[in-house]
Amino acid sequence: MADGDGNRDLATAFAARERWAFEEAYRQFAGLLYAAAYNVLGEAEDARDAVHDALARVWRSPGAYTPARGALKSFLTVCVRNEAITRARSQNRRTRLAVRLAAEPVEYDELRIGDPIESDRLRIALAALPEEIRRPLELAYYDQMTHVEIARALDAPLGTIKSRIANGLRRLGAAMRHA
């Protein structure tokens, strides 16, 4: 079998979601994919994570790749590069946010209220929230953990943690307005 035929067979099997094809694609293209991510991110661990996350996303998405989209190697390289770019942009946003937050006065704290009556109302409203919503809020505001740290600590997807925090803040706001 010629190299082109082997790549065509691999692409067809990958599109059919055959496990061996995923493993073989990783074996063949890992160095190239890592290099693509590293060129964007400049950090080895981030590059490895970008490769892993991009490949996992493609594999979990039936129909993400078809041989009609082009060569499997090119498709995977673009996916990894896009993941790396997304990560780099996110890191830049976090850095800019950290700089802005560092300029904020230290005494600013959303969930700490000076009025003891308001503080009690907040504590009661927080305690009334379901555990899966209350816990991320407590970690974010009392333990000052980032969303990423909370996701790791609670072993939950980052998007889920962000949604739960936003939902919790909405519920607390509504509870404080109605109390």
Record the tokens describing residue 153, joined without a space: 């600590």
DSSP 129: S
Q: Does residue 34 surpass a pLDDT of 80? A: yes
Do residues 165 and 140 make contact, with C-beta atoms less than 8 angstroms apart?
A: yes
The structural domains of the chain, ordered by start, are 3-103 (1.10.1740.10), 116-178 (1.10.10.10)
> What whole-number distance in Å separates Cα of residue 17 and Cα of residue 1?
21
How much is the average pLDDT of 14-24? 92
Backbone torsions φ then ψ of 157, nearest 5 degrees: -65, 145
Give the three-state DSSP class for 68. helix
> What whole-number distance in Å separates Cα of residue 44 and Cα of residue 127?
42
Q: What is the pLDDT of residue 113?
A: 54
Do residues 36 and 18 make contact, with C-beta atoms less than 8 angstroms apart?
A: no
Backbone torsions φ then ψ of 86, nearest 5 degrees: -60, -45
Q: Does residue 13 surpass a pLDDT of 90? A: yes
Statement: the pTM of the whole predicted model exceeds 0.85: no
Backbone torsions φ then ψ of 105, nearest 5 degrees: -60, 140
Q: What is the pLDDT of residue 151?
A: 92
